[in-house]
Structure 1
Amino acid sequence: MIIGIDTGYGYTKAAAESGERVLFPSVVGTGFERRMAGMVYDGTSEADNYELVVPGDTPEHYFIGYLALSQARDAARPFSDERSNAEEIRPLLLAAVGALCKGEPVTMVTGLPLEPFFKQAPGLKKSLERLSGTEILLNGSPVKIVFEDVIMFPQAVGALYGHLVRGGIRPSGVVGLVDVGFKTTDIILYDAGAKKPLEGYVDTIPAGTNDVVVAVQDEIKREVGMAPNPEWVEEAVIRGIPLTFDRRKFDVPGMAAAKSAQLAELVASRVARRWSDCLKRLEVVFLAGGGAALVQGAVSRLARCEVMPDSQFANAAGFLAKGLVTVARGKAGNGGD
């Protein structure tokens, strides 16, 4: 089985060749026995909740995604800028792959943001390969994770590659891609005629949708003198609901809308500087990532732009496309065996 998985700072997205997908916040917390589970409907389906146990002499018990947000006191996003080691994203990967693989061996394609990719990808690949053979319990069901191959591919390039393979890129000139993630925004130019990326116009902007969450958190802190947990703010943003904090109710969705405009202007400004001598040549700019719609208005002032279909899954779908092509070529090279 081939699976493309994007363990983003904000959300983990995974797509299998079967057509199945999973999507959940990249949040991990310590798990425990839930004696009241199912007594009250909390607005999420059982499929949205991931409880992971890694058996052993010292079993590891995790709540992941929405379950961690709603139940784990220590829910957090376990990401640092250094991602050469898979240990901190291991629960997310095991949950996503376990939910899709049905116990079958997996060719997994994943990646990193453009800026750290070439430095950190070799180490991450080796670390991921060592996870092969891990046995887990996912929502009570036993699954053994086996990797036949681990393929690394840069984010943003993955989104562009997937769009190309699906026939979504029809221009013959220069096209751009802006991939707005949770913590970073990748930008890349691609010469569709020559079928190659323009390396001098690639950049990773250290800003994303998390900036909106932090800005809302800071505004609440200025008003009441203390900051709410960022996961509480994020949950209010995700669900589009107010946040009650320190005996006050805050219109988090409304506050987030105002902060999103600031993010859009920042991204557009960096795009304009990096691509300054190519802006007049651009045929179209494709927008990908969970924050694509947030920057559309600002980027459209620079060039014609389009939000990719299912933009949040653009990299995961691109990784899957890369895996499908790579495996097909390998079989062709072996005479179809």
Structure 2
Amino acid sequence: MFKIGLDLGYGYTKGVNESGKTVLFPSLVGNAYQRNLIGLFGQNLNNLIENMHVVLRNGKEEQEEYFIGDLARREGRNVSYAFDENKINHPNTKAVLASASALLFPSNDEPVHIVSGLPLEQYIHQKDELREMLKNFKAIVEFKGYNILKIVRFDKVTVFPQAAGAVYYAIMDDLQKYLIKGSYIGLIDIGYRTTDYIVFVVDGKLSLREDLSGTLDIGMSQLSNAA
């Protein structure tokens, strides 16, 4: 089963697949329109990530068109982030999910296992809702102008606390350096809208200290707004 990992962040969408391909773009979505003068003034049309005009179909006749990421920031109309605390069923979330997944999917029809996460506090209350959304998600995704069409659906879903995933990633290259019995491992994960803090105690394995872990409703967006 082909594995992809997606972080549907408030500020940026990040992803990687088991072949090592990565995607990174702002989690911005805007209404699409026909760009009749595209390419006239030397835009770099070879870079799909910078020119994501996405058409989403749900298997019926209805379709929706969006500018995603850098194109939304540069040329979009009514551009917005999915900034709600519960963003799971927000249209913007589904648009960036479909776009990033289509870029990471295998070239064949191999089944796909998606791993995604939530900030710690949201994971406690919303993990089941996210899991169900991903299990039931299906979209036909077209990147307009690039002759790319993908059917996005997931055969297996794993939802994980984002900060815990960051801890595992940080220590996996040198486990013995960190797995000292009786010691503590802590991590602060500063995101665009929220900041996670998480602590594990080492007692033969990593055991979460839930009383020392949580989520603050503050992140890098406050710095952007202050500037």
- Range class of TM-score, shorter chain: 0.7 to 0.9
Q: Which residue of 1 aligns with 2:143?
A: 138
Q: Report the Cα offset of residue 85 of structure 1.
A: 2.9
Question: Higher helix proportion, which one?
Answer: 1
Q: Distance in 2 between matches of 1:168 and 1:77?
A: 37
d(CA) in 1 for partners of 2:176, 2:79: 40
**Quick check: 1:86–1:128 contact (8 Å CA) kept in 2?**
no
Aligned ranges 1:19-168 → 2 under 5 Å: 19-41=20-42, 45-55=47-57, 56-85=60-89, 87-103=91-107, 104-132=110-138, 134-139=139-144, 140-167=147-174
How many percent of aligned residue pairs carry the same amino acid?
Answer: 32
Q: Quote how far apart the aligned CAs of 1:193 are.
A: 4.1
Aligned equivalents of 2:175, 2:192: Cα separation in 1: 25
For 1:209, give the aligned amino acid: M
Contact 2:4–2:112 (CA under 8 A) maintained in structure 1: yes
**Counterpart among 175, 180, 184 of residue 185 in structure 2:** 175
Distance 2:143 2:111 in 1: 17
| Deviation at residue 127 of structure 1 after TM alignment | 1.2
Q: State the alpha-carbon separation in 2 of the partners of residues 148 and 165 from structure 1.
A: 27
Task: Pick which of 185-194 and 41-50 moved more.
Answer: 41-50
1:220-259 superposed Cα distances (whole Å, 9 cap, x missing partner): xxxxxxxxxxxxxxxxxxxxxxxxxxxxxxxxxxxxxxxx
Alpha carbons of structure 1 residues 177 and 169: separation in structure 2 relative to 1, 3 Å:
farther
- Of 195, 205, 212 in structure 2, the residue corresponding to residue 185 of structure 1 is 195
- The residue that corresponds to 1:203 in the other structure is 214
**Deviation, structure 1 residue 166:** 3.5
The residue that corresponds to 2:14 in the other structure is 13
Greater strand fraction, Structure 1 or Structure 2: 2
Question: TM-score, normalising length from structure 1?
Answer: 0.60
- 1:214 maps to a residue whose letter is N
The separation in 1 between residues aligned to 2:53 and 2:173, in whole angstroms, is 34
Evaluate the alpha carbon distance shift between residue 168 and residue 40 of structure 1 in structure 2; reply closer, same or farther with a 3 A threshold.
Answer: farther
Unaligned residue ranges in structure 1 (runs of 5+) = 217-337
> Counterpart of 2:211 in 1: which secondary structure?
strand
3-state SS in 2 of match to 1:75: strand
1:72 & 1:168 partners in 2: Cα distance?
Answer: 45
Q: Which of the pair has more CA radius of gyration?
A: 1
Name the Cα RMSD after superposition.
1.9
Q: Quickly say closer, same or farther: Cα 1:78–1:114, change in 2 above 3 A.
A: same
Per the alignment, residue 248 of structure 1 pairs with: none
**CA separation of 1:89/1:176 partners in 2, compared to 1, >3 Å: closer, same or farther?**
same
Helix, strand or coil for the counterpart of 1:74? strand
Checking the alignment, whether the CA contact within 8 Å between 1:163 and 1:169 is kept in structure 2 is: no
Distance 2:113 2:68 in 1: 23
Conservation of the 8 A alpha-carbon contact between 2:191 and 2:219: yes
1:84 to partner: Cα distance: 4.5
Change (3 A) 1:67 1:88: closer
Task: Measure the CA separation in 2 of the matches of 1:138 and 1:166.
Answer: 37
Conservation of the 8 A alpha-carbon contact between 2:3 and 2:112: yes
For 1:24 and 1:150, locate their aligned partners in 2 and report how far apart those are by CA, in whole Å: 22
User: Take 1:162 and 1:141, find their aligned partners in 2: how far apart are those partners?
Assistant: 32
Q: Indicate if the aligned counterparts of 2:29 and 2:92 stay in contact, CA closer than 8 A.
A: no
Contact 1:105 1:145 in 2 (8 A): no
Q: TM-score, normalised by structure 2?
A: 0.87
SS at match of 2:210: strand
SS at match of 2:212: strand
